[in-house]
Amino acid sequence: MPTTQHSAAAERHMQAAHAHEAAAASHNQNDHMAAHEQSKLAQERSREAHEHTEQLAKAATETK
């Protein structure tokens, strides 16, 4: 697999982690509406990261 495909998956995982951290910070500041929105974003980024990783794994097994 080219590094760029792995980099794209890693970037999605990092975006999810950042959104989780932002949600936690908002929650700690009692901004529950912002925390909720950031949690939704974190979930979406996590799902995207998972799907991208699954596609990479599938492509890797198909080329063997």
Which band of pLDDT confidence, cut at 50, 70 and 90, is reported for residue 10? Answer: confident
Tell me the C-alpha distance between 56 and 1, whole Å: 8
Each residue of 24-56: pLDDT tens digit? 999 999 999 999 999 999 999 999 889 988 988
AA identity, residue 40: K
- Tokens matching residue 13: 């995982």
- Span 9-23, average pLDDT: 89
Residue 3: its pLDDT value, please? Answer: 66
pLDDT at 24: 92
Which tokens in the block code for residue 22?
A: 């932002």
Say what the pTM is: 0.76
